[in-house]
Amino acid sequence: MKIRLDRTMCDGFGFCAKHAPKYFSLDDWGYASLTGDGTVDEADERDVMRALLDCPVHAIIEITEDDDQ
């Protein structure tokens, strides 16, 4: 699975970094950025899905094959 983070939408709730700290880091203001290129190991998909679903502003988006151009 591959994800992308729209930082313009992020509102700094920090849930993503709580659920999947390996993939999201927060800056001093609590805004998230992606660690790495968005490729998620299969073993971590559950954590990342939880982050995705818990983000109140839907700033984390799963990229499907069709979008990934």
Binding site for ligand SF4 (CB under 6 A): 5, 10-16, 24, 32, 55-57, 59-60
Q: List the structure tokens of 68.
A: 């990934």
In the complex, minimum distance from the CB of residue 58 to ligand SF4, in angstroms, rounded to a whole number: 8
Contact 14, 38 (CB under 8 A): no
In the complex, minimum distance from the CB of residue 23 to ligand SF4, in angstroms, rounded to a whole number: 10
CA 69 from centre of chain: 19
In the complex, minimum distance from the CB of residue 50 to ligand SF4, in angstroms, rounded to a whole number: 10
Give whichever of 58 and 67 is closer to ligand SF4, judged by the CB atom.
58
What residue has token string 């699975």? 1
